[in-house]
Structure 1
Amino acid sequence: MNRVVLSAVVVERGAMRYTPAGLPALDLRLAHESTVTEAGHPRKLGLELKAVVIGPLAQSIGRLELGSAHEFGGFLASQRNGRGVVLHITELL
């Protein structure tokens, strides 16, 4: 199963665009910082991740303030150029 839930801050937001099918689409960059336990030891981690939201949810997420923290649900997919991954956001939790 490819399911991701991520607590993150919206650090960058592109302009609203539209797919060839006419659906709204929005590109984002999300940042996450936390401490997790790995092999019984605490580990600090931080990451930035490209994200995209397509459809009616793009309007709602487009209104979020930069710097605001939220929980995003979705799935991971390869970027179009095949380098890296992108989070496809399907819900705002």
Structure 2
Amino acid sequence: MNELKVVASIAEKSALRYTPAGIPIATAVLMHHSKQEQASTQRQVEFEITAVAAGAISKRFLEIQLGVTMLFTGFLARKNRNSKSLVFHITDFQENEFETPLLD
């Protein structure tokens, strides 16, 4: 199974573009900050990941304000057939429902 859920905020976003088939594509960089437990110790986790939303969800995706923390759901795939870089393909998102903020 290839499903990823990440609480993150949009750090950068590009203008909406369209594939040759006319499918709208939104691209952004997501930023994540959290503390995770590993080997009985707290670890500070920070990363940025390129994200893509395609189809009807893309316009809603671009409406999210920069810096707003959301829960993103999707899957990982190569940037293209010959690349080793991964891209997070967003299939759904919703407001962050965690009681405490993940940002310090």
What TM-score range do you get, normalising by the shorter chain?
A: over 0.9
Partner of 2:7: 7
| Cα separation, 2, equivalents of 1:2 and 1:74 | 8
Partner of 1:33: 33
Counterpart of 1:92, as a letter, is: F
Q: Deviations over 1:5-63 (max 9, x none)?
A: 00001000001001122111011000000000112211011000000000000010111
TM-score, structure 2 normalization: 0.85
Partner of 2:61: 61
Aligned length: 93
Partner of 2:90: 89
- What's the Cα RMSD here? 1.0
Instruction: State the shift of 1:83 in Å.
Output: 3.5
Aligned-pair identity in percent equals 35
Unaligned ranges ≥5, structure 2: 95-104
Unaligned ranges ≥5, structure 1: none
Higher strand share: 1
Counterpart of 2:11, as a letter, is: V
